[in-house]
Amino acid sequence: MHCKYQLQWYDNIPIISWLSLGGKCRKCKKKIGYAEILAEVGLAVAFVLSFVFWPNQDGLLSTDILEIVKFAIFLIQLTIFTVLFIYDAKWCELPLGLMLGALGVAVVFECLAIWPNLSEFNWLSFVGGLLILPGFYFVMYKISNECWVGGGDWILCLPLAVMLADFWLGLMCVFAANVIGSAVMLPVAIKNKNKKMKVPFGPFLILGFLVVFFAQELIFNLLVI
Ligand SMILES: [Zn+2]
């Protein structure tokens, strides 16, 4: 960021490069920052947690090929989400190409998920999820004239809605993202009460999605009662 040094492949080895350089640029020795190392460690932890909380873990352990492919695709998606998370948190920006890539990955994931039970798939609920999750942020974006939420947020919701594929899970994702966002941002807002703040919402949407994705069985059980 400071000296425009072109990173070499050996500067990009997760965790190891950052540690061996002591968190400083190889050329100008300015500090790189903690976001990079936190993201690298965080993604490793997220991979492990994804395995531990995977909804169909028996499928993974019994070497069900379809389930293993689904899990691998989920990990690819998690990597894209991590990049989007950092981009938005650092620069308040969600690159369109990355979000469309995530949408493509989400469609492949969902096709594999519904393929074995295609006749039982609830298309109405799927469309409802698309309307409530990206729809909510699209309406907020339009009526507030880009003031409350950014234009990228509703597009980021598209892959999330495709992977949740259910109206109630979509609604829970909106709820979870807003709760997490309020919990994190309210103390900051109170501290800087006189300043106008730009709040990146993408990280909260991604966290809300992950909570709902891994708690989906629990949510469905609660809905039945
Ligand atoms: Zn430098």
Q: What is the pLDDT of residues 98-124, one digit of tens each?
A: 999 999 999 999 999 999 889 999 999
pLDDT at 194 over 70: no
Give which of 210, 156, 160 is closest to 46, Cα–Cα.
210
Q: How many CB atoms lie within 10 A of CB 149?
A: 21
Q: What is the pLDDT of residue 57?
A: 86
4 C-alpha to ligand 1 centroid (Å): 6
pLDDT at 171 over 90: yes
Q: At what angle do helices 151-164 and 167-191 cross, to 10 degrees?
A: 140
Q: What is the pLDDT of residue 189?
A: 81
Give which of 198, 223, 212 is closest to 165, Cα–Cα.
212
Radius of gyration (Cα) for the chain, nearest Å? 19
20 C-alpha to ligand 1 centroid (Å): 15
pLDDT at 39 over 80: yes
91 C-alpha to ligand 1 centroid (Å): 19
| Location of structure tokens 């490793």 | 44
18 C-alpha to ligand 1 centroid (Å): 13
Angle at 41 between CA 90 and CA 212, to 5 degrees: 75
pLDDT at 146 over 80: no
pLDDT tens digits, 54-92: 988 888 898 889 999 999 999 999 999 999 999 998 888
32 C-alpha to ligand 1 centroid (Å): 8
Q: What is the pLDDT of residue 117?
A: 87
pLDDT at 225 over 70: no
pLDDT tens digits, 147-168: 777 788 999 999 999 999 999 9
Q: In the chain, how long is the greatest CA-to-CA distance? A: 61
Task: Give the C-alpha distances (Å, rounded to integers) separating 24 from 1, 34, 187.
Answer: 11, 10, 31
pLDDT at 187 over 90: no
203 C-alpha to ligand 1 centroid (Å): 27
Judge contact between 133 and 157, C-beta under 8 A. Answer: yes
98 C-alpha to ligand 1 centroid (Å): 26
| 24 beta partners | 31
Judge contact between 11 and 26, C-beta under 8 A. Answer: yes
Share of the chain above pLDDT 70, in %: 98
Q: What is the pLDDT of residue 36?
A: 86
Q: What is the pLDDT of residue 209?
A: 97
